[in-house]
Amino acid sequence: MARINTEEIAGNPILKTVEQMSKISGLGENTLRDLLDRGEIDYVPNGNRKLMTEQAILDWYERSKVSAKPKRD
């Protein structure tokens, strides 16, 4: 089993609050809460908080993005 480097984790927690993820992702706190409430982003319930990973945001982005169309000459 792989060992987890707890020193790295302490400075950058794996699970992040809405407030923390808002600063990282650039999405507003209310937008993140709406996405969580609609079930569009995976999260871990912890008391009254919903904690998420950066990967959950990236997964949502991949599902939601609109690809650019190639430019025609």
The CA-based dihedral angle spanning residues 33, 54, 10, 30, taken in that order and rounded to the nearest 10 degrees: -20
**Closest C-alpha to 21, from 47, 39, 42:** 42
CA separation, residue 33 to residues 14, 44, 58, 70 (Å): 18, 13, 16, 34
| Block mean pLDDT (10 aa), the chain, length 73 | 55 88 94 96 95 94 90 79
Q: Where are the domains of the chain?
A: 13-62
Kindly indicate whether the domain formed by 13-62 is annotated with CATH number 3.40.50. Answer: no
Instruction: Kindly report the pTM of this predicted structure.
Output: 0.74
Residues 51-60: pLDDT tens digits? 999 999 999 9
Q: How many CA atoms lie within 13 A of 40 on its CB side?
A: 13
